[in-house]
Structures are given as structure tokens and as C-alpha cells.
Structure 1
Amino acid sequence: MIYTKIIIAVLLSIPLICANAQEITVLDEQGQPLANAVIEISHPLLRVTESPNKELYIVDQVDKQFVPQVLAIPQFSNVSFPNSDNIRHHVYSFSKTKPFELKLYAGKPKAPLTFDKSGVVVLGCNIHDSMVGYIYIASNRVFSISNDLGKVELSLPREVVKDGQILIWHPQQKLGVENLRSMNIQEVIDNQYRVTISTNPPSPRNTFEQLFNK
């Protein structure tokens, strides 16, 4: 998987750091597994640096949905937005992290977009208002998205455990879609590698504009 490659790259690029693979469980307030949560390990040793050899990430449009709905990428990455539907879409975002607009198109846009700021970008379609997607741009090189069982496996370098932070995000979090929650790594270890996120119930009626009260 793409995120496994990222973790491997971290270990190769920081040879002095010994890392332990740890499984973190993400739960909602009812103790149920929470999918599509992003967990990022934050520490100065793990900061992303711009590379000329950027991997291309994809957010497709299939059956009037963004696929994947949640994409996590390292800062400075390129993302392409192909349209696999037989209708045209008009993809855009007014998130402060990366405002952009891909006007009405079919097939593949001419060029990918570079996401050079860390944060969260909410995607919408100007034609199909119910289409909502998310791109999480990580400023650190160790991160992953929870699966349907709420599981995230990350390599925790021993040198960052003492003073490193875990950044936590979910699209339905009560904290707000563009905010990140931070915890000390030791807090997560003391809690048996479990993280709880307070979420709002998902609603199919939520639209791109409603997320920003527009």
C-alpha cells in the first residue's frame, strides 16, 4: 500500500532511529471502531522535505463520489483528479490550505495539483452538491488512515516517543473539519494505544457548502 511505502521511506531516510511498529486503535465515543481517521506522528526529526521525485496521488470521481473519500498525503505531493464518470464534474475547494478550482471537465485534467501546505482540504463539486471529499496533508513522514476496524499501524521511532506528538483527525469530528487534535505519544501508550474521537453522526444531506456554513 502507498502508506506502507511512506513508512519504509521514513526508516530508510533516518537510519539512526530505531522504530517499533505499533497498532493504534481509533474509537468513537461509543467505543466503536472508527474508519477514515488520520493519525500522524509529529516530531522535528520527521518533518517532510520537498523532493523532486514526487509520487502522484489520485482522487477519482466514480458514481458521483470522490474515491477515496479520504486521502492522506505528505506535504508537497501532487494529486490528480481524474473523472471516471460519464458526466462532467467541476471540482473545487475553498479550504485555506489549498483553494483551487478545476472547471467543468471530463476525463483527466491537464496537470496535477501540488499541495505544498499542511492541513486539511475539503473537496466539492459545483455541479453535484452532495459530493464531498477530504485530503489530509501531513507535515511529517509517518502517518496512516484507520481501516474499517479502526486500526492504524505506525512505526514509532524510539527517539521521538519521549517528546513527540500524535496528531488526530477525522472528517466527522466535533472539533471541526479543519482542526487537528494533538496528544503526547506517551498518553496514547498509557491508554493501551487507543484513541477516542468525538464525532458527529454522518448525514448524507451534508453538502460541501454546509461544512463551511455557506
Structure 2
Amino acid sequence: MAARVAVVEDDLDILETLVYTLEREGYETSGFPDGAQALLAFRDKVPDLCLIDWMLPGMSGLDLCRILKADQRFARTAILMLTARGTEMDAVTGLNAGADDYVVKPFRSRELLARVRALLRRTQPADTAGALRRVGDLWLDTHTYRAGWKDKAFDLTPTEFKILELLVRHPDRVYSRGQVLSNLWPDDRAVEDRAVDVHIARLREKMGPAAALVETVRGVGYRLKAQE
């Protein structure tokens, strides 16, 4: 079944081009000029991935992103922000709003499609033996895309889940930011290291008492502390 992709963009020329490009790649694609129309359509069909322009009329792209991430129905929906804002602070703002990734306008179709493929891979459970992984009281299920601490589940985005999955695979192994990036964005080297730091910070916030397990190794990267 083709992945379902939604594009929310008020520039109709860009919207038409993006829908055409994504449909040509085989995705089931729908386009919307504003957030209100998108939310109305999402009542019937929940997308696997949303491409959202930052500067939308009425409801901003950031507001739409926050609304989606606050609704459990969209827990598995990845979000790619489209923005003309290229500063690090703008990128951090978008990621903190719940976006999984961002791309700065103007962008090439090849770059955009690489980001789309990477994000959609994260929304699909890993096809590996042993879906349930445990590190002490921390657990992660690659089939249901759920993770948690003892009897409490975390509310993770697809990107946060994939980062935790990577760390859980090899407790105590240190992963550099570059290694995390290559696992999450294997087709793209344009993503900055800062994006990893933002996703790790958000992951820790959601892990509650288990947050201390994700350790920063100064000057190197991150690791998941093994529990005895």
C-alpha cells in the first residue's frame, strides 16, 4: 500500500508542484492551502507524513504541527516543515513544536524526496526478530511503535522513537551525532548536528524518570546507560 502524504502549502504553484512530484514517486498525495482544510480532511484519512509550510494563512504551520502532535491519532504521523527561515534558532523552534525534520526553501526535489523517504522509513516498524527490547525497566516494541518505563508509555514522535531504538540496541555504546544522523537520514548529509541535540532533549523530556539513562558523552555523542 502506498504511503499517504499530505502537503499543506498556501503558495498554489508550489503546492501543485509538490503534489505532482510526490505522486510521481508513487505516494498517495493530497494538497491543502491552509491548516483548517487539512485538519478537516484528516478526520477521514490520517496521513503517514505531512509536509507543512511554516508561514500559512490563519493557522500557522507551527500551530498546525502542535495540534497534530497533541492528538494521539497522529502519533505515527511524521512532520516535515517547509520553511524559508534558515537560522539555527528557527530550526530549533520547528523541532520543538513537534516537527521531525525541516527543509529550507528553495530546495531541490531530490533533497526533499530523500527527507520524505527517511521519515517514512521511521514510521514503519523494523522488520527484525524480537520486537520487544528491554534495558532494565525501559522497554521498546518495534512492532507497535511504543516505548516506556515500567508500566508508563512515552508519547514519542517517529524520530524520537528511532533514536531511542538505536540507543537501546547497544546499551553503553556511544553514538556520535554523525552516527545518529546516518541512521536517521542515510540519504542526506544536509541535516545539521544540532537537530540531533534537539531531538535528544525532547526525548529526555518525555522519558520522565528514565531520562537519566540517556547520557551525554562530552565531545563525542550519546549513549544509553545499561542497567544492572
TM-score normalised by L of structure 1: 0.29
Q: Which structure shows the bigger proportion of residues in helix conformation?
A: 2
Higher relative contact order (CA 8 A, sep 6+): 1
Q: Which structure shows the bigger proportion of residues in strand conformation?
A: 1
